[in-house]
Amino acid sequence: MNTIASPGQLRASFLRWALVLVPLVMLLGFVSGKLAQSGPENAWFADLVKPGIYPPSATFGIVWTILYILMGLAVAMVAAARGARGRTAALAAFAVQLLLNLAWTPVFFGMHQMTSALYLLIALDIMVAVTLFLFWKVRSLAAILLVPYLAWVCFATVLNWQFLQLNPDADGRPTANAVQRIELQP
Protein backbone atom coordinates (compact mmCIF):
# COMPACT_ATOMS: atom_id res chain seq x y z
CA MET A 1 0.00 0.00 0.00
CA ASN A 2 1.34 3.41 -0.95
CA THR A 3 0.80 6.31 1.41
CA ILE A 4 0.37 9.77 -0.02
CA ALA A 5 1.64 11.50 3.10
CA SER A 6 3.18 10.30 6.33
CA PRO A 7 1.55 11.08 9.69
CA GLY A 8 4.31 13.63 10.31
CA GLN A 9 3.60 15.37 7.03
CA LEU A 10 -0.12 15.46 7.83
CA ARG A 11 0.57 17.00 11.26
CA ALA A 12 2.90 19.55 9.68
CA SER A 13 0.22 20.46 7.14
CA PHE A 14 -2.37 20.94 9.89
CA LEU A 15 0.07 23.07 11.92
CA ARG A 16 0.83 25.31 8.94
CA TRP A 17 -2.89 25.82 8.28
CA ALA A 18 -3.57 26.41 11.98
CA LEU A 19 -0.77 28.98 12.27
CA VAL A 20 -2.47 30.99 9.53
CA LEU A 21 -6.18 30.34 10.06
CA VAL A 22 -6.51 30.59 13.86
CA PRO A 23 -4.99 34.10 14.01
CA LEU A 24 -6.86 35.13 10.85
CA VAL A 25 -10.27 34.08 12.21
CA MET A 26 -9.51 35.79 15.54
CA LEU A 27 -8.29 38.96 13.82
CA LEU A 28 -11.38 39.17 11.61
CA GLY A 29 -13.66 38.75 14.64
CA PHE A 30 -11.73 41.39 16.59
CA VAL A 31 -11.75 43.88 13.70
CA SER A 32 -15.48 43.38 13.12
CA GLY A 33 -16.19 44.12 16.78
CA LYS A 34 -13.89 47.13 16.93
CA LEU A 35 -15.19 48.71 13.73
CA ALA A 36 -18.78 48.37 14.94
CA GLN A 37 -17.89 49.61 18.45
CA SER A 38 -19.54 46.57 19.98
CA GLY A 39 -19.90 45.96 23.67
CA PRO A 40 -21.09 47.73 26.78
CA GLU A 41 -19.25 50.97 25.93
CA ASN A 42 -21.52 51.44 22.90
CA ALA A 43 -23.92 54.23 23.97
CA TRP A 44 -26.88 52.84 22.00
CA PHE A 45 -26.37 49.38 23.50
CA ALA A 46 -25.86 50.76 27.02
CA ASP A 47 -29.33 52.37 26.82
CA LEU A 48 -31.06 49.08 25.94
CA VAL A 49 -33.05 47.08 28.48
CA LYS A 50 -31.08 43.86 28.98
CA PRO A 51 -32.85 40.47 28.99
CA GLY A 52 -32.68 38.32 32.11
CA ILE A 53 -30.47 35.78 30.32
CA TYR A 54 -27.91 38.42 29.33
CA PRO A 55 -24.58 37.26 30.81
CA PRO A 56 -21.97 39.60 32.33
CA SER A 57 -20.31 41.70 29.61
CA ALA A 58 -16.88 40.15 30.20
CA THR A 59 -18.31 36.78 29.16
CA PHE A 60 -18.52 37.78 25.51
CA GLY A 61 -14.81 38.50 25.06
CA ILE A 62 -13.84 35.25 26.75
CA VAL A 63 -16.39 33.12 24.88
CA TRP A 64 -15.66 34.63 21.46
CA THR A 65 -11.91 34.21 21.91
CA ILE A 66 -12.40 30.51 22.67
CA LEU A 67 -14.91 30.08 19.83
CA TYR A 68 -12.67 31.78 17.27
CA ILE A 69 -9.76 29.54 18.32
CA LEU A 70 -11.97 26.44 17.96
CA MET A 71 -13.26 27.68 14.60
CA GLY A 72 -9.72 28.30 13.36
CA LEU A 73 -8.57 24.85 14.47
CA ALA A 74 -11.61 23.21 12.87
CA VAL A 75 -11.15 24.93 9.52
CA ALA A 76 -7.42 24.15 9.63
CA MET A 77 -8.23 20.45 10.04
CA VAL A 78 -10.49 20.55 7.01
CA ALA A 79 -8.06 22.69 4.97
CA ALA A 80 -5.26 20.21 5.75
CA ALA A 81 -7.39 17.31 4.48
CA ARG A 82 -6.17 17.62 0.88
CA GLY A 83 -7.95 15.29 -1.45
CA ALA A 84 -10.71 14.57 1.04
CA ARG A 85 -14.14 14.24 -0.46
CA GLY A 86 -16.31 17.26 0.32
CA ARG A 87 -13.39 19.46 1.44
CA THR A 88 -14.13 22.29 -1.00
CA ALA A 89 -17.83 22.43 -0.11
CA ALA A 90 -16.97 22.40 3.61
CA LEU A 91 -14.48 25.25 3.22
CA ALA A 92 -16.97 27.25 1.14
CA ALA A 93 -19.68 26.77 3.79
CA PHE A 94 -17.22 27.87 6.47
CA ALA A 95 -16.43 31.04 4.51
CA VAL A 96 -20.14 31.87 4.11
CA GLN A 97 -20.92 31.33 7.80
CA LEU A 98 -17.86 33.39 8.80
CA LEU A 99 -19.05 36.28 6.62
CA LEU A 100 -22.50 36.09 8.24
CA ASN A 101 -20.82 36.02 11.66
CA LEU A 102 -18.68 39.05 10.88
CA ALA A 103 -21.66 40.95 9.43
CA TRP A 104 -23.81 40.58 12.54
CA THR A 105 -21.78 42.91 14.77
CA PRO A 106 -21.93 45.94 12.43
CA VAL A 107 -25.62 45.34 11.74
CA PHE A 108 -26.55 45.10 15.44
CA PHE A 109 -24.09 47.48 17.12
CA GLY A 110 -23.22 49.78 14.23
CA MET A 111 -26.52 50.19 12.40
CA HIS A 112 -28.75 49.38 15.40
CA GLN A 113 -30.83 47.08 13.20
CA MET A 114 -31.99 44.43 15.68
CA THR A 115 -34.55 42.89 13.33
CA SER A 116 -32.04 42.57 10.48
CA ALA A 117 -29.48 41.22 12.95
CA LEU A 118 -32.00 38.59 14.08
CA TYR A 119 -32.56 37.43 10.49
CA LEU A 120 -28.80 37.38 10.01
CA LEU A 121 -28.44 35.18 13.10
CA ILE A 122 -31.09 32.77 11.86
CA ALA A 123 -29.15 32.47 8.59
CA LEU A 124 -25.96 32.03 10.64
CA ASP A 125 -27.56 29.27 12.73
CA ILE A 126 -28.45 27.41 9.55
CA MET A 127 -25.04 27.94 7.94
CA VAL A 128 -23.15 26.83 11.05
CA ALA A 129 -25.27 23.66 11.14
CA VAL A 130 -24.57 23.07 7.43
CA THR A 131 -20.86 23.72 7.98
CA LEU A 132 -20.80 21.34 10.93
CA PHE A 133 -22.48 18.65 8.80
CA LEU A 134 -20.02 19.17 5.93
CA PHE A 135 -17.04 19.22 8.30
CA TRP A 136 -18.26 15.91 9.76
CA LYS A 137 -17.94 14.33 6.31
CA VAL A 138 -14.31 15.50 6.06
CA ARG A 139 -13.03 15.36 9.66
CA SER A 140 -15.39 14.45 12.49
CA LEU A 141 -13.17 16.16 15.10
CA ALA A 142 -13.43 19.42 13.13
CA ALA A 143 -17.22 19.16 13.32
CA ILE A 144 -17.11 18.45 17.05
CA LEU A 145 -15.03 21.61 17.55
CA LEU A 146 -17.90 23.62 16.02
CA VAL A 147 -20.57 22.31 18.42
CA PRO A 148 -19.92 25.00 21.10
CA TYR A 149 -20.04 27.64 18.35
CA LEU A 150 -23.42 26.36 17.14
CA ALA A 151 -24.72 26.37 20.71
CA TRP A 152 -23.49 29.94 21.25
CA VAL A 153 -24.99 31.35 18.04
CA CYS A 154 -28.30 29.69 18.89
CA PHE A 155 -28.11 31.37 22.31
CA ALA A 156 -27.20 34.66 20.58
CA THR A 157 -30.29 34.29 18.39
CA VAL A 158 -32.54 33.96 21.45
CA LEU A 159 -30.72 36.87 23.10
CA ASN A 160 -31.11 39.06 20.00
CA TRP A 161 -34.83 38.20 19.87
CA GLN A 162 -35.22 39.12 23.55
CA PHE A 163 -33.42 42.44 23.01
CA LEU A 164 -35.85 43.17 20.21
CA GLN A 165 -38.87 42.24 22.36
CA LEU A 166 -37.69 44.42 25.26
CA ASN A 167 -36.56 47.37 23.09
CA PRO A 168 -38.84 47.58 20.03
CA ASP A 169 -38.43 51.36 19.78
CA ALA A 170 -34.62 51.04 19.66
CA ASP A 171 -34.65 48.97 16.45
CA GLY A 172 -32.98 51.17 13.85
CA ARG A 173 -32.89 54.16 16.19
CA PRO A 174 -29.64 56.12 16.36
CA THR A 175 -28.04 56.69 19.72
CA ALA A 176 -29.84 59.33 21.76
CA ASN A 177 -26.51 60.78 22.89
CA ALA A 178 -24.96 60.69 19.42
CA VAL A 179 -23.45 63.79 17.92
CA GLN A 180 -24.51 64.45 14.38
CA ARG A 181 -22.00 66.21 12.20
CA ILE A 182 -23.39 68.43 9.47
CA GLU A 183 -21.02 69.89 6.96
CA LEU A 184 -22.21 72.94 5.03
CA GLN A 185 -20.91 73.41 1.52
CA PRO A 186 -20.30 76.99 0.31
pLDDT tens, position by position, 130-166? 999 999 999 999 999 999 999 999 999 999 999 999 9
Instruction: Of 53, 128, 118, 61, give the one whose Cα is nearest residue 90.
Output: 128
Would you say residue 92 has pLDDT above 70?
A: yes
Distance, in Å, from the CA atom of 143 to the CA atom of 131, rounded to the nearest integer, reads: 8
Model-level pTM? 0.86
pLDDT band at 179 (very low <50, low <70, confident <90, very high): very low
Provide the terminal-to-terminal Cα distance of the chain, rounded to the nearest Å.
80
Check if CATH label 1.20.1260.100 holds for domain 7-169: yes
More confident residue, 8 or 148: 148
pLDDT digits (tens, 9 = 90+) for 15-40: 898 899 999 999 999 999 888 888 88
Portion of the chain with pLDDT greater than 70, in percent:
89
Long-range Cβ contact pairs of 117-120 (< 8 A, separation 24 or more) = 117/160, 118/157, 118/160, 118/161, 118/164
Contact yes or no for 35/27 (Cβ under 8 A): no
10 pLDDT more than 80? no
- Write down the mean pLDDT value for the chain: 90
Report the C-alpha gap between 112 and 105 in whole angstroms: 10
What amino acid is encoded at 15 in this protein? L
In degrees and rounded to multiples of 5, residue 102 shows phi and psi of -70, -25
